[in-house]
Amino acid sequence: MNPTLRPATEADALAMADLLNRIIEAGGTTAHQSRFDAERMLSHYIAPPLAISCFVAVLKDEVIGFQALERANPDWQGESKLPDDWAVIATFVGEGHRGLGIGRGLFALTLDAARAADVVAIDATIRADNPLGLAYYAQIGFADHALIKDAPLRDGTKIDRVQKVFRL
C-alpha cells in the first residue's frame, strides 16, 4: 500500500512530533536532541516564519514521514549562512518505512514548491555520521558543497555536518 502524500496541517502536528521524537530517541540521525510537542512542531516545521512547504506521508492514518522546506534565514550569523534565494530542507521518515521511496515522493512535491517560490538552490545539512541521510540526499541529486567541522549538538557533542546542495 502506498502512502498518501499531502501538505501538513496543524492537525498533523502531534503525530509529526511523535514521529520525530522516536527518531530523536533512537539517536544518530538528527541534530535534534530535545523532544517536540505539537506547538514546537507547528512553529519549527509546519508554519515557521520563512516556510515554503511542509508535506506529510500518511499510511493508514499514521504519519510515517514528513519533509519541510523554508527560506534560508537572511539574519543567520555564522559560517553556515546561505544566500537569501536558497532554501533549507529537512526530511524525516520513520523506522520501518525507510528505503521505500517515501522521501523521493515527498521531494517531488517539495521541488515543485521550491520552484514556485523562485528558490535557486536547496541546502540539506546532515550529520556526517548519518550514512542513510547522506545517501538519501545524494540519490535524489544533492551534491556536497561544504563541511561544518565539529558542530556542537545541544549536549556539547561535536559532530561534523555535511552541507549538500540541489540547484534548481
Tell me, what CATH number does 120's domain have?
3.40.630.30
**Residues 75-112 pLDDT 10s:** 775 556 788 899 999 999 987 777 678 999 999 999 99
pLDDT for position 25: 87
Helix (H, G, I), strand (E, B) or coil at 138: helix
Average pLDDT over every residue of 49-72 = 96
pLDDT for position 40: 95
Give the start-end residues of each E strand in the chain: 4-7, 51-59, 62-71, 86-93, 121-127, 143-152, 158-167
Q: How many CB atoms lie within 10 A of CB 55?
A: 21
Q: What are the residue ranges of helices labelled H in 57-126?
A: 102-116
Residues spanned by the domain of 37:
4-167
Number of domain units in the chain: 1
- The mean predicted confidence, pLDDT, of the chain is 91
Average pLDDT over every residue of 49-56 = 97
pLDDT for position 105: 95
State yes or no: pLDDT of 146 exceeds 70.
Answer: yes
State yes or no: pLDDT of 127 exceeds 60.
Answer: yes
pLDDT for position 59: 92
**Dihedral over alpha carbons 70, 75, 78, 84 (to 10 degrees):** 50
Helix (H, G, I), strand (E, B) or coil at 93: strand
Average pLDDT over every residue of 13-36 = 87
Q: How confident is the model at residue 60 (pLDDT cuts 50, 70, 90)?
A: very high
